[in-house]
Amino acid sequence: MKILVQKFGGTSVADLECQKQVCAKVLAALGRGYKMVVVLSARAGETNRLLALADEWSKTPDLAERDSLVSIGEQLSVALFAILLKDAGVKARSVLAFQIPLITGDEYSDARIRSINSDWLRAELEKYDVLVVAGFQGVTEEGRITTLGRGGSDTSAVSLAAALQAEECEIYTDVDGVYTTDPRVCSQARKMRTIAYDEMLEMASMGAKVLHIRSVEFAKKYKVPVRVRSTFTEDPGTLVTQEDSSMEAVLVSGIAYDKDQARVTMRGVPDKPGIAAAIFGPLSEGGVLVDMIVQNTGRDGITDMTFTVSRKDLAKTLELMQKVNAVIQAQEVMHDVHVAKVSAIGVGMRNHSGVAARAFAALQKERINIMMISTSEIKISILIEEKYVELAVRILHEAFGLDWDMGE
């Protein structure tokens, strides 16, 4: 059985006209001999409408009930689309999580998939040519409805593709693929034909929000080839897949940026063991995600500790730091919201030195001051003044040869 999974987002199923275009995509794939699993999101705006209702009913709505509530958005989408397919003469049916079942833990609103009954799905694929599966939802062992968190329909699609060993998982969206950087910022941005899972993970977490990050982790774990493409064109899009030698030949695959950064500096803290724990322990307990961290080499037993957080968490962070400071006695707590992060990403940089140096040189040439640097195996991130972020993206894009077709 040759199986293809296709996932369509909220704008693709928003109204009858959109759903007819989706229908055409599905019919085309059926014509190529596939059995199909079509995963749908809620219609655009529906999930927010339902969440707003829950918030109207309670300031702290019960999470299990809220999940049961918001899951109806996808139930609506799949029933309507199945009606459309049957009208077109296709042997199709809608499928809800409890019917498979697709079992998750009971972390309501952000549940993790535990198992998928692929035997049941295969049996249904014997009877039907298309299963229209509600994305975003699962059920606990006890049969209570859960949701997988924002963007969870991508995760549904990839995990169904993994369970069924589908040939490919196509994620249809309103962009036609993954670009070397944001085309709105850099006119030289190119669509990539392929990208490695690890690169995609860095891109996704950096604000290139094409794919839900957990779905990429899933795809990587189960080696599911994922294709990101547009509902509204015939372009083959970008294939997210295992890295190969051709990818490693490219030093940097893409440039990402993130403006949602605020910098906090604890100036003049005693340079002794336990200081880092004293600062970051309370932040972790308070649910604040820390991104970049830099500690300068100390002098005279005194050092500076600098880190960045999401802007929405800044007020909470400063409040926590006041308390921390009663203990650690820094000379000053400073902060700055006019900062942004630019990153160069590529599995190729693993085998090459000098990538960081090339990035710094390019930025320095334009007199862009580098505030912080952090590096990982396949990524270099640089914190700069926010006003330079677009310029920095274009400079790095050119510096790493992404402006020209490198025949990848």
Residue 202 C-beta: closest distance to a copy of itself, Å: 37
* Binding of residue 62 to a copy of itself (CB under 8 A): yes
Residue 147 C-beta: closest distance to a copy of itself, Å: 12
**93 DSSP β-pair partners:** 131
Stretch that binds a copy of itself, among 86-94, 241-249, 334-342, 393-401 (CB under 8 A): 86-94
Residue 354 has a CB neighbour count (10 Å cut-off) of 10
Is the separation of the CB atoms in 259 and 308 below 8 Å?
A: no
Stretch that binds a copy of itself, among 75-83, 184-192, 225-233, 237-245 (CB under 8 A): 75-83
Cα separation of 389 and 342, whole Å? 7
Residue 84 C-beta: closest distance to a copy of itself, Å: 6
* Binding of residue 24 to a copy of itself (CB under 8 A): no
* Binding of residue 68 to a copy of itself (CB under 8 A): yes
Burial (CB count within 10 angstroms: exposed 0-12, middle 13-18, buried 19+), residue 381: buried
Dihedral of alpha carbons 158, 162, 164, 167, sign: positive
Q: Tell me whether residue 92 or residue 288 sits nearer to a copy of itself (CB atom).
A: 92
Q: Tell me whether residue 69 or residue 359 sits nearer to a copy of itself (CB atom).
A: 69
Residue type for position 358 = R
Cα separation of 322 and 325, whole Å? 5
* Binding of residue 65 to a copy of itself (CB under 8 A): yes
* Binding of residue 144 to a copy of itself (CB under 8 A): yes
| Per-residue x/- track, 263-282, a copy of itself (CB under 8 A) | --------------------
DSSP letters along 16-72, please? HHHHHHHHHHHHHHHHTT-EEEEEE-PPTTHHHHHHHHHHHH-SS--HHHHHHHHTH
* Binding of residue 52 to a copy of itself (CB under 8 A): no
Site of interaction with a copy of itself (CB under 8 A): 16, 19, 50, 53-54, 56-58, 60-62, 64-66, 68-69, 72, 75-76, 78-80, 82-84, 86-87, 93-94, 96, 98-99, 143-145
